[in-house]
Structure 1
Amino acid sequence: MVRLDETPPASAERPARRRRWPRWLAGLVALLMAGVLFIAYVWQPPAVQGYRSPYLSRVHSLYADTPVARFHYTKTGQGAPVVLIAGGAQWQYSYRDTIPALAKNHTVYAVDLPSQGYTRAAQNFTYTIPAMADAIRAFLDAVGLTKASLVGHSWGGAWTLSFAERHPDRVDKLVLLDSPGLDKELASQTAVFGVPVVGEAVVKLMRRADFETSLRSAFTHQERVTAEVVDENWAWMSRSEQRDAFVKLVRSQDYAPIDAGLGRITARTLIVWGQDDQWLPASYAREYGERIPGAEVKVIPSAGHNVHEDDPAQVIPLLAAFLSG
């Protein structure tokens, strides 16, 4: 028995109170979460309005309507067909210096794939790597090309690789410019866009200055990133549908199937890489050279990820010689 005048043991005292978050802090957290969700899934940032592209004023735009997309493209020169495919957050403008040089001996098709430039994708387009490869096939069919040489940069190179593995009979020569496709670590610059909710919010909050910073990281020769270069890419990238497509593309980067099929490439292949690529290391180029049958490898000193724009004086003659050889 316990005497009334005795102090009860500590274990018999009232249960310890659980630590509770202050109501104001819980409310603040809830408010912040609601704000992030609103930005990610409801709010739409304003797009650039009234921009007149100097590049489009110099070229003749063509369009090919297919169930996959309404493709925007240009057709220049005469000769064996070459199709140019730009990288992620890029469009055919990135080949502005390349097209005239190749058009001396080739019919050059520079096409914007879904998510790029002034092409409009179907509403149900999925933006997976196989879907992007199928988009290349749809474009070739639409313009009447049963076989062509393909040049792909960055993500455009990965989509081109996937197409070449699926349809080897439709690829004459293949050029890859700083292209992913190996089952290796992805570029760290795009990692944040792969995080659910956060990726949607970040891409919507991105402004021209943020885009310029990212673009500059793909160049060693910073003087080549002029205001026009930034504006020509940002004008269309600022649109909501293109921002959404970019996030979907980031989340579809499963390169294991492409990696497994490298030995099936039958087209004569040239790999060109910038030695100073901050997105994908130049060691990838050498591995491609070892695993794609007969592939040639050229590493360009003092050039970055956008190698063909960063050092056109070195890269364009390589492309012209390879495609005409």
Structure 2
Amino acid sequence: MPTYQEWTDAQETASVVVDGHDLDVAYRDEGSGDPVVFLHGIPTNSYLWRDVIPPIEAERRVVVPDMLGYGNSAMQDGFDRSLRAQERMIDGLLAQLGVGTVSLVGHDLGGGVFLRYAAHNPDAVEQLVLSNAVAYDSWPIQRITDLGLPETARETTPEELGALLDDLFRETLYEDGASEEFLEGMTEPWNSETGVTSLVRNASATNTNHTTEVDPTAITAETLLLWGANDEFQAIEWAERLYEDIDGSELMGVDEASHWVMADRPEAYRDRLTEFLC
């Protein structure tokens, strides 16, 4: 699997207008065929999907962006990073890439973005995969609320934030012995004063209203709820509620997997996702 540096070396950049701001979006665009877009959550980036996409790239076009404020996308202060704004970013990016009908795979906040997108654009989304996604009023969790306090940006050094995130991932991955490459890829983008401020702004932009206003019954896409069954942040009960609301959806709980399901059980996750998409 690629290192984080190899992953970012393969990224391209597009400029997308969101709320009057010209903002750079870093993304990977590989493969050919019907497009699939993958979107991560907080505090991760597109490298989250490194173990998942190779067999899907062999069959379909795969687009994997960093959300605004994350990874190698725009991090400067002064723009909205909410789910609403990220949904507009996806709209603009897909238009630039000439993508019409699409399949979507979202985790955490990325799942919340795609929940909105699929409900707002039912004719444009053929398949939807949500993994440990924010939904209804399941979020924000206390850790993210605390991280989003303005004084956190002023009082936290990059080294302190890096240690905090390293501890977070090591504590919440299902088993000990986390991949050092995974940890580096999740923490490296925040290793600057700009990165610290950006992550704090991302956390402060979490807004429960951006999922409570969504009607999941409006989603017509073929839907798979592929969920880490041992998640302490977005419990599988939220997936069960989505299963009841999204007509014809399928729910699969991945055992011995926490919030970071694709890192905890990459083979099980990849196999079921590939079966669904390909």
TM-score relative to the length of structure 1: 0.76
Q: Partner letter of residue 302 of structure 1?
A: E
Give the equivalent residue in structure 2 for 1:41. Answer: none
Q: Partner letter of residue 282 of structure 1?
A: I
Give the equivalent residue in structure 2 for 1:85. Answer: 39
Secondary structure of the residue aligned to 2:234 is coil
Quick check: 1:56 aligned with 2:32? Answer: no
Q: 1:134 Cα deviation (Å)?
A: 0.4
Give the equivalent residue in structure 2 for 1:273. Answer: 227
Give the equivalent residue in structure 2 for 1:247. Answer: 200
Quick check: 1:295 aligned with 2:244? Answer: no
CA–CA separation in structure 2 for the residues paired with 1:151 and 1:203 = 33
Alpha-carbon distance change, 185 to 119 in structure 1, aligned in 2, over 3 angstroms = closer
CA–CA separation in structure 2 for the residues paired with 1:248 and 1:57 = 27
Quick check: 1:67 aligned with 2:20? Answer: no
CA–CA separation in structure 1 for the residues paired with 2:63 and 2:139 = 32
CA–CA separation in structure 1 for the residues paired with 2:202 and 2:11 = 25
Whether the 8 Å contact between 2:70 and 2:198 is mirrored in structure 1 is no
Q: Partner letter of residue 241 of structure 1?
A: T
Alpha-carbon distance change, 203 to 264 in structure 1, aligned in 2, over 3 angstroms = farther
Q: 1:257 Cα deviation (Å)?
A: 4.5
Give the equivalent residue in structure 2 for 1:115. Answer: 69
CA–CA separation in structure 1 for the residues paired with 2:69 and 2:32 = 28
Whether the 8 Å contact between 1:175 and 1:272 is mirrored in structure 2 is yes
Q: Deviations over 1:204-227 (max 9, x none)?
A: 67332221111223310332x222
Whether the 8 Å contact between 1:146 and 1:170 is mirrored in structure 2 is yes
Give the equivalent residue in structure 2 for 1:159. Answer: 113
RMSD, aligned CA: 2.2
Structure 1 window deviating more from structure 2 (256-265 vs 266-275): it is: 256-265
Superposition pairs for residues 300-311 of structure 1, below 5 Å?
300-311=254-265
Q: 1:153 Cα deviation (Å)?
A: 0.7
Quick check: 1:184 aligned with 2:138? Answer: yes
Structure 1 window deviating more from structure 2 (198-207 vs 95-104): it is: 198-207
CA–CA separation in structure 1 for the residues paired with 2:99 and 2:195 = 27
Unaligned stretches of 5+ residues in structure 1: 1-52
Secondary structure of the residue aligned to 2:27 is strand
Quick check: 1:231 aligned with 2:165? Answer: no
Q: Partner letter of residue 189 of structure 1?
A: R
Whether the 8 Å contact between 1:193 and 1:202 is mirrored in structure 2 is no
Alpha-carbon distance change, 205 to 80 in structure 1, aligned in 2, over 3 angstroms = same
Unaligned stretches of 5+ residues in structure 2: none
Secondary structure of the residue aligned to 1:245 is helix
Alpha-carbon distance change, 216 to 182 in structure 1, aligned in 2, over 3 angstroms = farther
CA–CA separation in structure 1 for the residues paired with 2:156 and 2:134 = 23
Alpha-carbon distance change, 162 to 239 in structure 1, aligned in 2, over 3 angstroms = farther
Q: Partner letter of residue 66 of structure 1?
A: V
Whether the 8 Å contact between 2:144 and 2:203 is mirrored in structure 1 is yes
CA–CA separation in structure 1 for the residues paired with 2:77 and 2:205 = 17
CA–CA separation in structure 2 for the residues paired with 1:203 and 1:137 = 34
CA–CA separation in structure 1 for the residues paired with 2:227 and 2:15 = 34
Secondary structure of the residue aligned to 1:145 is coil
Q: 1:185 Cα deviation (Å)?
A: 5.0
CA–CA separation in structure 2 for the residues paired with 1:193 and 1:74 = 28
CA–CA separation in structure 1 for the residues paired with 2:76 and 2:95 = 17
Secondary structure of the residue aligned to 2:277 is helix
Give the equivalent residue in structure 1 for 2:165. Answer: 211
CA–CA separation in structure 2 for the residues paired with 1:135 and 1:193 = 24
CA–CA separation in structure 2 for the residues paired with 1:124 and 1:147 = 32
Instruction: Using the aligned pairs only, state the percent identity.
Output: 24
Structure 1 window deviating more from structure 2 (243-252 vs 277-286): it is: 243-252
Q: Partner letter of residue 54 of structure 1?
A: T
Q: Deviations over 1:271-305 (max 9, x none)?
A: 11111112121111111111122211111111010
Radius of gyration: which is bigger?
Answer: 1
Give the equivalent residue in structure 2 for 1:262. Answer: 216
Give the equivalent residue in structure 1 for 2:51. Answer: 97
